[in-house]
Amino acid sequence: MKTVIQRVSKASVTIHKKKVAEIETGLLILLGIVPEDTQEDIDFLVRKIANLRIFNDENNVMNNSLLNINGEAIVVSQFTLHAATKKGNRPSYIKAAKPEIAIPLYEDFIKTLEKKLNKKVQTGTFGADMKVELLNDGPVTIIIDSKNKE
């Protein structure tokens, strides 16, 4: 699993001109899934994301996590995170999991994150054409790949 995490002042997801998700201070999480992903990948990413100290404390130092600030989250499925761009100019998405594998993992990721945060996590709709708006705070953008735990 690969995630792009953006610290936001606000974010929203719109589908067919209808806003389906909207948060204030928190994280916008783009989630890409490959067929080899398991619950272990979900648990690693959820633990890392919830505890990542990327929110400012009273001294304007990044010492607080999403848990510390009781922040909100939006999770958006993003198969293009696994684009292969080595050959040519047209990305290949062959590494991305097919919906029959990806949807259950996507749903489990959301449930696991909700349990960790002890609150509802907002989402886009898997496979939908979504318009994602955000105000990146910082900017702070972090990429975490569960297969590359550096």
Tell me: pLDDT of 111 over 80.
yes
Confidence of residue 146 (pLDDT cuts 50, 70, 90): very high
Per-residue pLDDT tens over the stretch 6-47: 999 999 999 999 999 999 999 999 999 999 999 999 999 999
Confidence of residue 149 (pLDDT cuts 50, 70, 90): confident
- Catalytic position from the list 3, 38, 80, 141: 80
**Mean pLDDT to the nearest integer, 92-108:** 95
Tell me: pLDDT of 141 over 80.
yes
pLDDT on residue 15: 97
Query: For the whole model, what pTM was predicted?
Result: 0.95
User: What is the rounded average pLDDT for all residues in the chain?
Assistant: 96
User: Is 80 part of the annotated catalytic residue set?
Assistant: yes
Tell me: pLDDT of 48 over 80.
yes
Query: Distance between CA atoms of 26 and 24, rounded to whole angstroms?
Result: 6
Buried-state track 111-133, b at ≥16 Cβ within 10 A, e below 16? ebbeebbeeebbbbebeeebebe
Confidence of residue 113 (pLDDT cuts 50, 70, 90): very high
CA atoms within 13 A on the CB side of 1: 27
Nearest one of 5, 4, 13, 2 to 132, comparing CA atoms:
13
Tell me: pLDDT of 52 over 90.
yes
Let me know: does 65 contact 50? Beta carbons within 8 Å. yes
